[in-house]
């Protein structure tokens, strides 16, 4: 295909940001124009990605829409391409970004122009991560995301924003550094950083363990896995609503995507070897962070910890290396993208009205904000994996996968589902139900139109994919099967080599 749709998807938001940067005139005009430009580019990008999905061929596991340009001659090609796994993450990104833009326009009062630039640059970098088929290009986009996120947390964040921004930046940078070393080593081992070629040529088994660990250090921090998750609650709590949404919905998914594409694809032997480590860390994450989430007094912190627990499910699913587990992980990531985004928006709604994130300052909101209570209910139930929501499909498939491989892991992971029900419902009960004790809450206004639009679209998708996940499963089906097939042949090959 000659039409470079992936490059356009990737760089269109950056071009939008460029235009916003050059808007001039009175403050009012600048704000109006930059809002319009941001909305326009993010929606155009969304429709472009729908078009991409529509034209996507689900019958093959080959990379599609491949663009291959010479970049550093003899070393690195600027290579873009997508398969069934990445196309859905691109869709998620282009769907969440307009919501972030709307939420930002709604709730951010100062320096909106800079905020929109940061969000659009962020979108470029995130789409780039999911498109790139070259390790160095991947690293560029993966790390580049730190810059706008640092700015978003630092400028528009809460009270401890500076601390959180620094923690986020340095933590993730340190994690990624080892990945850079691994990427360069791969270049010297295989002579290329082109992912497709590396997947074909195979990396010798003796190198795989260290390389796997280097990639793991980066993805584990980004995902985040216990015990390197501590940056996440801080970053989430202090970030503005739109920032939390981007963080939870998309940034965390980069790591899950990385595990699938790179760790399992390139280092199958090491992935097999380290699976118990992943299981252990994920189980601890699920149970420990769920318990921690139970005790939180801050709504955002509670949702942040629940994200860590949900990501624990994702890693278990990926490393079951069964078809159900893998597909479940992808669905879980997508649905967590929708649900956590919605939950952070829910917190944002009351925070914009009452400027408090503490659970104890609320109670009885159902009396004044019935529509809000309804949507909060939907997303609460989705977060705990109620059948009929997308959260259920993901968790169910992951547990099915886990039962095939390891009963103990599956049983312990199921505990997480129960704990999720406990902390989510308890949160809901304390915020929404009961009588209003605090008289100031009586003046709160229910959802306005733009908020309603955001919530309806998120709720629609959550429920739609809960009842009918087929479009998603169809898209990922062939790619996932291919991934697992390759993995199994690699392992079999390795075992015969060892026997000889």
Partner 1 sequence: MHIIEYILPEIFLSVSILVILMLGVFIKKSYKLVNNLIILSLIFTGLLIFQQQNASVKIFNDNYIIDNFSVFMKILTTISCIFILIISNDYIKNTKINKFEYPILILTSVLGMMIMISSYDLIVFYMGLELQSLSLYVLAAFNRDSIKSSEAGLKYFVLSALSTGLLLYGCSLLYGYTESTNFEIISKSLDPNNIISIFAIVFIVVGLAFKVSAVPFHMWTPDVYEGSPTSVTSFFALVPKIAALTVFIRFMYVPFINAIDQWQNIIVFLSVASMILAAVAAIGQSNIKRLMAYSSIGHMGYALAGIATGSAEGVKSSILYLTIYLIMSLGTFACIFMMKRDNIFFEDISELSGLSKSRPILSLGFLILLFSLAGIPPLAGFFAKFYVFMAVIQANMYGLAIIGLITTVISAFYYLRIIKVIYFDKSKDSFDENKDLGIKVSLFISCVLVVFYFINPSILTDLISLININ
Q: Which is nearer to partner 1, 43 or 78 (CB)?
A: 78
Q: Of residues 8, 15, 173, 421, which one binds partner 1 by CB under 8 A?
A: 173
Rounded to whole angstroms, the Cα distance separating 71 from 160 reads 41
Q: Of residues 1, 50, 181, 495, which one binds partner 1 by CB under 8 A?
A: 181
Q: Tell the smallest beta-carbon distance from residue 174 to partner 1 (Å).
A: 5
Q: Tell the smallest beta-carbon distance from residue 243 to partner 1 (Å).
A: 14
State the binding string over 245-264 for partner 1 (x if CB under 8 A, else -): --------------------
Number of C-alpha atoms within 13 angstroms, CB side, residue 373? 17
Using the rule CB under 8 A, is 1 a contact of partner 1?
no
Phi, psi for residue 447 in degrees, rounded to 5: -55, 140
Q: Of residues 1, 3, 29, 174, which one binds partner 1 by CB under 8 A?
A: 174
Region binding partner 1 by CB under 8 A among candidate stretches 29-37, 84-92, 147-155, 316-324: 147-155
Q: Tell the smallest beta-carbon distance from residue 179 to partner 1 (Å).
A: 10
Using the rule CB under 8 A, is 230 a contact of partner 1?
no
Number of C-alpha atoms within 13 angstroms, CB side, residue 428? 20
Bridge partners (DSSP) listed for residue 31: none
Using the rule CB under 8 A, is 54 a contact of partner 1?
no
CA 136 to chain centre: 21
State the binding string over 114-143 for partner 1 (x if CB under 8 A, else -): x---------------------x--xxx-x
Contacts with 181 (C-beta within 8 Å, 6 or more apart), sequence order: 214
SS (H, E, C) 355-421: CCCEHHHCCCHHHCCHHHHHHHHHHHHHHCCCCCCHHHHHHHHHHHHHHHHCHHHHHHHHHHHHHHH
Q: Tell the smallest beta-carbon distance from residue 271 to partner 1 (Å).
A: 22
Q: Of residues 71, 433, 460, 467, which one binds partner 1 by CB under 8 A?
A: 71
Read off the tokens for 447: 């959802």
Which of positions 82-111 make contact with partner 1 (CB under 8 A)?
Answer: 111
Size of the site for partner 1 (CB under 8 A): 34
Tokens 């356009």 -> residue: 8
SS3 content of the chain, % helix, strand, coil (to 5): 80, 5, 15
Whether 422 contacts 302, CB under 8 Å:
no
Rounded to whole angstroms, the Cα distance separating 475 from 58 reads 5
Q: Which is nearer to partner 1, 110 or 500 (CB)?
A: 110
Whether 135 contacts 193, CB under 8 Å:
yes
Rounded to whole angstroms, the Cα distance separating 203 from 333 reads 28
Q: Of residues 39, 44, 155, 422, which one binds partner 1 by CB under 8 A?
A: 155
Q: Tell the smallest beta-carbon distance from residue 465 to partner 1 (Å).
A: 34
Region binding partner 1 by CB under 8 A among candidate stretches 95-103, 158-166, 280-288, 421-429: 158-166
CB count within 10 Å of CB 159 equals 9
Chain contacts with partner 1 (rule: CB under 8 A): 70-73, 111, 114, 136, 139-141, 143-144, 146-147, 150-151, 154-155, 161-162, 165-166, 169-170, 173-174, 177-178, 180-181, 184-185, 187-188
């Amino acid at each position: 295909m000659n039409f470079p749709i992936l490059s356009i998807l990737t760089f269109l938001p950056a071009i939008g940001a460029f235009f916003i940067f050059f808007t001039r005139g009175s403050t009012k005009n600048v704000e109006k124009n930059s809002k319009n430009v941001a909305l326009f580019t993010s929606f155009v990008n969304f429709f472009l990605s729908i078009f991409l999905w529509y034209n996507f061929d689900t019958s093959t596991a080959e990379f599609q829409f491949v663009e291959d340009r010479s970049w550093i001659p003899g070393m690195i090609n600027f290579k873009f391409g997508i398969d069934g796994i990445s196309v859905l993450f691109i869709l998620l990104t282009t769907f969440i970004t307009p919501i972030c833009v709307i939420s930002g326009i709604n709730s951010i009062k100062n320096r909106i122009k800079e905020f929109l630039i940061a969000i659009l640059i962020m979108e470029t970098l995130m789409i780039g991560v999911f498109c790139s088929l070259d390790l160095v290009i991947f690293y560029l986009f993966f790390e580049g995301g730190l810059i706008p996120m640092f700015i978003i947390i630092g400028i528009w964040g809460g009270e401890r924003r500076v601390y959180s921004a620094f923690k986020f930046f340095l933590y993730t940078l340190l994690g990624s550094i080892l990945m850079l070393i691994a990427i360069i080593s791969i270049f010297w081992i295989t002579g290329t950083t082109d992912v497709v070629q590396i997947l074909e040529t195979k990396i010798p088994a003796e190198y795989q363990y260290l390389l796997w660990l280097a990639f793991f250090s980066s993805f584990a921090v980004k995902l985040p896995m216990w015990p390197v998750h501590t940056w996440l609650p801080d970053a989430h709590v202090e970030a503005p609503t739109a920032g939390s949404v981007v963080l939870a919905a998309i940034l965390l998914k980069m790591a899950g995507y990385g595990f699938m594409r790179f760790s399992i694809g390139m280092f199958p032997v090491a992935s097999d070897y380290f699976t118990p480590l992943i299981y252990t860390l994920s189980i601890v994450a699920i149970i420990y962070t769920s318990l921690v989430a139970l005790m939180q007094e801050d709504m955002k912190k509670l949702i942040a910890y629940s994200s860590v627990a949900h990501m624990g499910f994702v890693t278990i699913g990926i490393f079951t290396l069964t078809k159900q587990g893998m597909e479940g992980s992808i669905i879980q990531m997508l649905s967590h993208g929708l649900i956590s985004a919605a939950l952070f928006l829910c917190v944002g709604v009351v925070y914009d009205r009452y400027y408090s994130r503490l659970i104890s300052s609320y109670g009885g909101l159902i009396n004044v904000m019935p529509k809000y209570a309804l949507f909060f209910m939907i997303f609460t139930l989705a977060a705990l994996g109620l059948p009929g929501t997308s959260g259920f499909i993901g968790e169910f498939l992951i547990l099915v996968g886990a039962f095939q491989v390891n009963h103990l892991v599956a049983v312990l992971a199921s505990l997480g589902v129960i704990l999720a029900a406990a902390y989510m419902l308890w949160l809901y009960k304390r915020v929404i139900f009961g009588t209003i004790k605090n008289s100031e809450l009586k003046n709160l206004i229910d959802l306005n139109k733009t908020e309603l639009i955001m919530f309806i679209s998120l709720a629609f998708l959550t429920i739609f994919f809960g009842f009918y996940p087929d479009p998603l499963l169809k898209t990922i089906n062939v790619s996932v099967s291919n991934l697992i097939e390759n993995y199994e042949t690699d392992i079999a090959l390795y075992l015969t080599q060892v026997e000889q």
